[in-house]
Amino acid sequence: MGLFKIVGNACICMLIVFLLAISQVISPCITVRAEENSRELEFSTYNEKIIDIKNNVLEDSDLIVENEEIKIETVIHNTKLVEINRVKIEYFTKSKLKPIKVVNIDKILAGESINTYIDYYFNKAGRYTIEVKVSGYVTKNSSKLDNNTIKEDNIKIESNSSVDIKVSKMKELSKVVVQQGYNNGVKSDDNLKTLKNIVKENGMKLVLNENVLSNQVLSEAKLLILTQEYINIASQVEINLITKYISGGGNLIITSSSDIYDENSNCEYAKKGNHILEAIGAKIRLNDDQAIDNDINDGENYNLSFNKYNIESELLVGIDVDKKFKFFNGSTLIIPSSSDNIEVLIEGHESTYGHYYDKQNDNVSVNKGEVVGLAIETLDNNSKIVISGTNFYYEDEISDSNFSNYEITNMLLRYLAPVPKIELSSILSVKIDKNSDNILDKLGEKVIVEGYVTVASKAESNSNLFNNVIYVQDDTSGIEVYGVIESKVKLGQKVRVTGRVSSKFGNAQIKLQDENYDLQIIDERINLILPIEFSTFDSMQEKNEGMLVKTIGKVTSIVENIIYINDRSGEAVVYIDNFIENSIKCDLKYEWKSKIKVGDVISIVGIVVEGTDGYLLLVRDLAEIVNISDEIQEDIENEEIPELGEKPEVDVNPEVDINREENIHSELNKEKEHNNISNEEIEENTLSQNIDKYYFFFTIALIIVSGNIFTLFKSERY
């Protein structure tokens, strides 16, 4: 009986201890998995690409200006076979925590797409990002959702997207208005694609007006272009507005077409166009006819092209006379006998003449050799009126590179709507951030700076392999210039840079649109900028961003391509990109790694740039890393640098080569790996500790059982 009692007690004790041990090992794992299965994994499964978002700015011009209201379209597509209920679309700017706009939608059916729109404007030039957050609820069963409560089977899903918007200052641009037809089903968008590109390339603000012409549309416009679709429907009120605009100094391009459609329609382009010309005080008139040439044409006698240019005109300086001006189905112009303020730019062939197609006898006879294809008239107030009998700037005419229409249009736009001249700025003024909000005051503005090159272009230098950038410095500061790809620019040359103020990784930069026009070498002589020497601490200050500096210090640590140095004033971080070479010894690209060690005193020259964790010195040439340990005095060489404590983590994002950023981060993260433990390692350690507990309790159980057995045998023996 004693034996059974002892064994029973031992088994019960062992079972209790075993259950305690098991609970310590397994219980946490079960809890986590249960939570994941109930919510987390369901969320992940339903949230994965269930909502597809696309954002567009519904603006006719790529140049949006301050205080201009724009419409942002968001297209939301439900990609799964489930219904999304109680959908909320929230719009944010990075500067605001609260949404600038919220749109609520009851539901989006499976596979359905919906469009939402918001109106917004920016009161300051710059680059902005609108963040769009879409959220809603889905259910795993087919039961209806109660819009007032969230049932247990409702799972919240979210998806995010964004749209980048560039805003310019109106004072930097030249506004061009193209007045299109309206209320007649005829619009000319497709005919203006290349014209839009020309306007954009010239830094002009294009407004395509599809509504009734108004004072607001014409406000600040330097040039008004009237399409033939509009001319045919212009009201007297609108003609009065055009007259007011011209009397205020505005310029005009007006075109027409032949009278081929006049006979049985209301398309009286010449008649209605002449109402406008008469109202504004112009003397040239559009003829109600068709220019034809039976001898020289491009397949049809109305499909013409002219090459008789007025090469003495300032407007046509540099025109390619080997290309012809395309003149399709156009009318002739009536030039008055008194033409002191009129300049004929292009004429037809000796065999070209005017033919009245509609037989209405409402034309003026134009004989062979008298056809004018393009002319400009200067009014008494100096307004310029360009007149042609054909839509020479339409897509079919302007997009064909075999003709001169593109070149002619480009010349006229620059002449009639010149972009305001920009005053020369100091580099320091370009980088000002008065309110310290990390947004440059001139962000997005077009500026011109001059300075000496401190980092040569990749196309010129064998050692300075900075990708697509140069650095320029004047008496006030230095700055990165982005967009230099093919230009050969040497160290020490003086350049003039025209571009828009931008920012990359916190560093101010000037971004070029076209280096062929925006980058000029104004002094080819070599005047090398000497680096300014700072202490290691001072070299890392924001005021030196973009500057060429020199510092000397003792090496305290080397981590891959990063050197930490200190002269007792504070630490400086030096970054050496793998693609930077030695301008003196081209075969010693990586020599510095074997020539420099912790404890050495080195001299470094480089450009100060901002990384994600502070400033660093970006080496431009390996020849400018010099070990001077043997050159300094013994007492200085042997001085101990104070303990710096634990090395700070540094994440570097220099503008060297955007394709190598991941490599830089990888190198820097190797140091972090020694000090950080991953989530997997934590879970592994936790499980290991729990297993240790299991063995501990199990051992106790064995001891208890063994003790009971020993007691049993002892009692039986004695």
Angstrom distance (rounded) from CA 663 to CA 257: 61
Q: What is the pLDDT of residue 569?
A: 94
Nearest partner of 137 among 90, 91, 78, judged by Cα: 78
Question: pLDDT tens digits, residue range 506-564?
Answer: 899 999 988 887 899 999 999 999 999 999 999 999 999 999 999 999 999 999 889 99
Sign of CA dihedral 407, 410, 415, 418: negative
Non-local (6+) Cβ contacts of 715 within 8 A are: 2
| Placement of tokens 């797409």 in the chain | 113
Average pLDDT over all residues of the chain: 80
What is the average per-residue pLDDT within 633-662?
A: 44
| Strands 532-533 and 548-559, bridge-based pairing | parallel
Q: 584-594 pLDDT, tens per residue?
A: 765 555 677 77
The whole-number pLDDT of residue 126 equals 75
Q: Within its chain, how far is the Cα of 652 from the centroid? A: 22
Average pLDDT, stretch 323-332? Answer: 96
| Residue 711 to residue 709: CA distance in whole angstroms | 5
Closest CA to 450 of 475, 421, 487: 475
Confidence grade of residue 647 (pLDDT, cut at 50, 70, 90): very low
Confidence band, pLDDT 50/70/90 cuts, at residue 150 = very low
Three-class SS of residue 479? Answer: strand
What's the length of the chain?
718
For range 135-153, the mean pLDDT = 61
Split at pLDDT 50, 70, 90, the class of 31 is: very low
Q: Is the pLDDT of residue 32 over 60?
A: no
pTM of the predicted model as reported, rounded to 2 decimal places: 0.59
Query: String of b and e for 280-307 (b: at least 16 CB within 10 Å)?
Result: bebbbbbbbbbbbbeebbeeebbebbbb
pLDDT of 651 over the 50 cut: no
- β-strand 614-619 against 625-627: which pairing, if any? unpaired
pLDDT at 717: 42
Compute CA distances 506 → 84, 609, 652, 667, whole Å: 40, 9, 12, 21
Q: In the structure, what pLDDT confidence band is assigned to residue 167 with cuts at 50, 70 and 90?
A: confident
Per DSSP, the residues of 195-231 read HHHHHHHTTEEEEEE-S---HHHHTTEEEEEE-HHHH
pLDDT confidence of residue 623: 87
Q: Are strands 154-168 and 333-334 parallel, antiparallel or unpaired?
A: unpaired
Q: What is the mean pLDDT of residues 355-368?
A: 79
Contact 354, 332 (CB under 8 A): yes
Residue 642 is given by DSSP the state P
* Angle between the N-to-C axes of helices 2-35 and 679-717, in degrees from 0 to 180, rounded to the nearest 10: 170
Q: Other CB atoms closer than 10 Å to residue 229's CB: what's the count? A: 20
Contact 547, 532 (CB under 8 A): yes
Q: What is the pLDDT of residues 176-218, one digit of tens each?
A: 999 987 765 445 567 888 998 888 888 888 998 988 999 999 9
Q: Do 617 and 575 form a contact (C-beta atoms < 8 A)?
A: yes
